[in-house]
Structure 1
C-alpha cells in the first residue's frame, strides 16, 4: 500500500524536484524497533532502498513530511508523520476516540517507541539521502530533543474504531493527511473499496485484472 501511495504521488510530480512527502513501508518501523541504534549497520541494504535508489526519482531529504505505518501492539496500527519543517511528529492513532477520554492510554502505548523511531529516521535520512544544499526546502537534521509530539484525536469522527480496523484507517490517514488537517473519514466499507480499487489498478501491478472490475477500456494486462 505504501508503494501504491508513492506511485500515485509519482503521477502528480513531473520532475525530480522537491516533494511534500515520502512514504516508508511498514517494515521500516519493524526494523527500527528491532535494531534500535544499530539499524543502519544491521539492515543497511534493505533500509537504504527505502530512502534512495533508481526507484526513487527525487531527493527524500527535500521532503517536508516522512510518513510511516507503525504497529504499536499486535493489530493496533497508527500513522506516524514526521514534519521536518516544523520539527513535529504527528501521531495519527485511529484508536483515540472523538472525545479523547482514552488519549492518555494511547499516548502510553507510543511512549516506548516514538523516540526510537525518530532517532532512527534522523540517522537514515542523514546516511542515505543526498545533500539538499541549494534548495529553499533544506530541512536539516536536528536533535530529537528539539521535536514536539502531537496526538491527533477524533480522526474517525463519530465512528467507533476497533483495533482490527485500525490498519485500514491508518492507510487512509497516511494518504489523506497533508501535515495540518485531515478530511472527514468515511465508513470502513467505503475505505476498503476505494483502497482495493487503487491497489488493483496501480501501474506496477502486472497481474490480470478481474473481468468484472468496473473500469473503462479495461486492458488485458496492466502496464
Structure 2
C-alpha cells in the first residue's frame, strides 16, 4: 500500500472500484459492503467514473499489452493463509473474511498481547500487515500512531476514540496524522480486522502504558 493514498473511506472505496487495492484491503472493503450494503451505491458511482476514464484512454499497443499480460501470468498470486470452507449458518464473520482466512470467529487462535487485548496475526500478505484483534468490553488499546496507513473493520461490538464511534461494519482509516487510543464499548467485546502498512508506534505516557500493561 506504500504508493496508495488511503486517507479517507471515500478514497478507499474509489480504489476498490478501480481494482487497485492490495488483496487484504480488497477483502476488508468487500466485507464492509456485505455488512453495510447501502454503501454499494457509492462504489457503483466510482465504477461508472472509472469506466468513463478507461473509454477515453488511448488504445494500448499490442506488443505492450502482450508484455503486460505475460507479466501478470508470470507473477505469483497473492498469498492467502487458508483455503475457504463452508460457513456455519450463524457465522459472525462476513463471507469475504471467512473465505480469506478459512476460519470463523470461534476458531481464531488468539494470542494475548495485553490483559483484555488479543491478536491473531496473519503476517505479511500482498505487502500488508494483516491481523485480527479482540478487545474486552471497556478495554483500551494503548495510545499510538501509524507509520503509514491502517484500515480497521469492526466485525462485532464497537469502539470509540477521539474521532468518534465505530460500530459493526464501520471502517476506521488512520495514518501518521492520527494519534488515538481506541476503547471498546462496555456491552460486548470488540472484534476487528486490520490491514496496515507497518506496525503502530506507541505515543502514550509511561504511566498510561504501565496501566495498560497491568490491565
TM-score range for the pair, normalised by the shorter chain length: under 0.3
More helix by share: 1
More strand by share: 2
Tell me which structure has the larger Cα radius of gyration.
2
| TM-score normalised by L of structure 1 | 0.26
